[in-house]
Amino acid sequence: MQKLVSQLSVRLIFKQIKVATVESCTGGWIGKTLTDQAGSSDWFAGGLITYTNESKTKLASVPEPLISQYGAVSPEVAEAMARGAEKYFDRCVTVAVTGVAGPGGGSEEKPVGTVCIATCLLGQTNAKQFHFNGDRESVRLQTVENALRMVLTAIERSTTLV
């Protein structure tokens, strides 16, 4: 994971942007992983931990009807979380995660290991749903890794940055 963070930091510095996080199921693990690297204040802006539906609505500006319609664990809500963070963090790529890490909380429709990750960069969003295997820690670790990969991809695909 350290190599991935290092690659990401180089790209963020080159593109002259920072990254910001909106985390639910990871509870701040993405932010911790990023700030484990010395010098991260040069490219990490900050993050929000929006663990409950209420905090998703209040902090990340996710409309309550969206949560009611699709559920908190959905690509639509992850995308809204990533977009919502834009109001707090200027010139940032935002990444949002929401999911069912387990061991409980899953359903037939959204079993344990269902995670949605979204990025937003200059208004362009990308959201994906994943199904990870393993225990709670494993699901959360896979979420962090895939979120960082999606941020890297968003930066690489952007043609409007440096």
| Residue 17 domain-assigned (yes or no) | yes
What is the gyration radius of the CA atoms in the chain, in angstroms?
15
The tally of domains found in the chain comes to 1
Dump pLDDT digits (tens) for 101-141: 999 988 999 999 999 999 999 989 999 999 999 999 999 99
| Residue 38 domain-assigned (yes or no) | yes
| Residue 53 domain-assigned (yes or no) | yes
| Residue 57 domain-assigned (yes or no) | yes
| Residue 97 domain-assigned (yes or no) | yes
State the CATH number of the domain containing residue 100.
Answer: 3.90.950.20
| Residue 162 domain-assigned (yes or no) | no
Q: Residue 92: which of 122, 124, 116, 62 has the closest Cα? A: 122
pTM of this prediction?
0.96
Q: Which domain holds residue 55?
A: 2-157
